[in-house]
A and B are shown apart, each in its own frame.
Chain A
Amino acid sequence: AQSVTQPDIHITVSEGASLELRCNYSYGATPYLFWYVQSPGQGLQLLLKYFSGDTLVQGIKGFEAEFKRSQSSFNLRKPSVHWSDAAEYFCAVGAPSGSSNTGKLIFGQGTTLQVKP
C-alpha cells in the first residue's frame, strides 16, 4: 500500500537560514509527488509537483524539491527562509494512471515550520 512519512513533526529555523523538510514514500513504482503548504486557517496550496524528467523541481515562493528514487525521498528545500514561510507543510503521493488508486492523493502527517526572527 502507498504511504507517506514526514519524519519531522515540528521544525524551527531562524529567518534567513536554509530549510530542508523530509518526505519518504512507499510505493511499488514511481508515483506522482507533491508538496503543499497550509497557512493557519487556510486551505492547502500547491508548492510544487514531480511527475517525471528532471529530478529537481522548482516551485512557488522559492521552494524546490529533489526526487531521489534510490532513497524513496522527495525532500523540500529553501535556501533562505522568510518569516512568512511559517506554516504546515504536507508531502503527498499520487498513483499514476492505470493504478487502482488513480485519482487519490495520500498525504503525510505534516511538518509544522516555525521561523525565529
Chain B
Amino acid sequence: DAGVIQSPRHEVTEMGQEVTLRCKPISGHDYLFWYRQTMMRGLELLIYFNNNVPIDDSGMPEDRFSAKMPNASFSTLKIQPSEPRDSAVYFCASRDGTGVTYEQYFGPGTRLTVT
C-alpha cells in the first residue's frame, strides 16, 4: 500500500490567497483526520471524518478553515483567506475503524508558508 498521500508537500503563498491541501487516505480506511503542527502549539487535531462525514470539527481554528471529504479516497483542507499565522505543517492521517486497533497512519505532511 502506498500509505497516506498528501499534496502538495510544500506550499508557499501570499497572505490573502486561498490554499487547498489534499489527502488520499489508505484504501479501506474509514476514518480520516487533519492535524496541524507548529512549534508553539504542537500537534493539534483540526477535524476528523468517519465514512466521509465530519464527526468533530471543534479544532478548526476559525471560519477561514474548511474541510471536505467528497468520497472515501479524497479529502481537502481549505484556508481562505490565508494568513501568516496559518504557517505550519499540516498532516492527514487515516485509520481502519472496523478493527480493534486504533492506530492512525500519517501522511508525510504539507509544509505551508504564508508570507
Contact = CB atoms under 8 A, between A and B. Distances in A.
Q: Is the interface of B mostly helix, strand, loop or mixed?
A: strand
Interface residues of A, number: 20
A93 to B, nearest CB: 10
Nearest to A48: B103
A49 B108 CA distance: 21
Question: Looking at B31, B33, B42, which has the most chain A CB atoms within 10 Å of its CB?
Answer: B42
Contacts of A109: 42
A43 B45 CA distance: 14
Interface string A83-105: 00000001000100000000111
A12 B102 CA distance: 31
Given A51-B100, A94-B102, A103-B97, A110 B43 contact: yes
Interface in B37-86: 42-43, 45, 48, 50, 55-56
B106 A44 contact: yes
Contacts of A56: none
Contact of A45 (B43, B55, B106, B109): B106
Question: Looking at A45, A51, A104, which has the most chain B CB atoms within 10 Å of its CB?
Answer: A104
Contacts of A41: 108
Contacts of B43: 44, 90, 107, 110
B56 A104 contact: yes
B42 A105 contact: no
Contacts of A36: 106
Contacts of B109: 42-43
Given A104-B45, A107-B43, A110-B42, A46 B31 contact: no
Interface of B: 4, 31, 33, 42-43, 45, 48, 50, 55-56, 91, 93, 97, 100-109
Given A42-B108, A45-B106, A105-B45, 19 more contacts: A32-B102, A34-B103, A41-B108, A42-B109, A43-B4, A43-B91, A43-B106, A43-B108, A43-B109, A46-B103, A94-B102, A103-B48, A103-B55, A103-B56, A103-B102, A107-B42, A107-B43, A109-B42, A110-B42
